[in-house]
Amino acid sequence: MLTQVSISRKMILIALTFSLPIAVLTYLMVVSIDSNVEFAVKETKGNTVQRGLAELLRKVQEHRLARLGCQNGQECEGRLSVLQAEVGQAFQQTQAALDQVGAPLQFTTAGLGARGRQHLSLETMRREWSELTGKLPDADLAAKHDHLASDIRGMITHAGDTSNLILDPDLDSYYLMDVTLLALPQAQERLARVGVLGSAIIRGGKLTRDDQIQLAVQASMMQEADLDRIVASTGTSLTEDPNFYGVRARLQERIPPALKRYQAAASTFIGMSRRLASAERPEVTEKEYLQAEDEAHRASFEFWSVAVDELDGLLGARIASYQDNRNWSLGLASLSVLVACLLAFFLARSIVVPLRDVMGSLGPGATLLGVCVERIAEASKNHFSNPEEATLICEELDAHADGMRQSVLALALQVEGAQRAESVAVEHNA
């Protein structure tokens, strides 16, 4: 089959054959790049869900502290009504996010059940919240608030696990993820619990030894496990930012001021808690203490909002970089195949054109030799004394002519291909 293919086409086939490994490697590279893009896109889906959950956690905790801080019944009722409406909006925001990306993040009955988290459904939390809006004893109220906050954090953890956030591969986004997914939600839950604890201690008027120990431990946890970790992780993210996809100006501009505000508010509340733990009687009023907690709480969520936006920015930069790499890979691979084919074409042309010239000169020569043989044969009948000798000479010349014709046809077959060789044969036989 290949013997009937022209030299130029053979050269192009050779070029395409050697291009096959390039095509295979390009395919594997594109598959790998697309996998990395999908990985990062899934991380952004985790942030989408966490935005709704963070707002829900914030409003539930504000509702809890508002019930503690309300002194006037009418003021309390109005404030709680506003917060209940805001909690409802946060539920709607979370539901919208789950409708959008909940299925791929395994926020389904099967997905939650497979991980032993079947209780972490929005329907369950709506029922828990409905109970909190009713009239409950203070002890039951505190326990149910803690349980609801714990469930919300459980959903945040689930979003981080199934969205690949917890597996983030780049240091700048990994440490910012540590802040938004792990450290800040933990700090926010602890702030609310310590606020409730300190409020109850102040209301009691005198600190027992157990109160002092418990509050001192919580203050140390807020400092070491929460604030110090958040500051360190944020600093690492800012430091590593130039090493991945270039410096992101928005990150460098927005994160430090928000962190500074949170650090100042949290340090104030931690210091107040430590002073309260070291005294026998409270030296701060319940209102002042809850106000300090509220400022730290608000600053933490403001910082979280900035941090999660910048985390999305880092993920977007990574996705864009991967997509650029994919486009360049496809473009360069296509260009290399095209160049290989062009080189094969010009190389074949440099071989075929001279051979075609040779073929053009051999063809008429073979024809002329055949004519000469015929004329010699006719003349030999009249001039040669020995007709057999003349016949032998003519047969030899005719054999040479046939050999030249066969060589021309074989050369035409190699140079022009089977179809063109047939036309050449017809021309020479004519």
Domain coordinates of the chain in residue numbers?
2-9+334-429, 10-333
* Tens digits of residue pLDDT in 114-160: 999 999 999 999 999 998 887 777 667 888 888 999 999 999 999 99
Length of the chain: 430
* Tens digits of residue pLDDT in 254-275: 999 999 999 999 999 999 999 9
Which of 142, 144, 149, 145 has the alpha carbon at shortest distance from 200?
142
| Residue 387, Cβ density class (10 Å: 0-12 exposed, 13-18 middle, ≥19 buried) | exposed
pLDDT for residue 382: 58
Q: What's this model's pTM, rounded to 2 decimal places?
A: 0.79
- Helices in 163-227 by DSSP H: which ranges? 171-177, 184-204, 209-221
Q: In which residue ranges of the chain is pLDDT below 70?
A: 1-8, 10-11, 15, 69-75, 138-139, 351-430
* Tens digits of residue pLDDT in 185-207: 999 999 999 998 998 899 888 88
Cβ neighbors of 193 (< 8 A, separation 6 or more) are 146, 218
C-alpha dist (Å) from residue 193 to 61, 66, 166, 357: 9, 13, 26, 95
How far apart CA 134 and CA 136 sit, in angstroms, is 6
pLDDT for residue 134: 76
pLDDT for residue 142: 81
How far apart CA 366 and CA 360 sit, in angstroms, is 10
pLDDT for residue 74: 46
How far apart CA 151 and CA 131 sit, in angstroms, is 15
pLDDT for residue 6: 66
Q: Which amino acid is at 109?
A: T
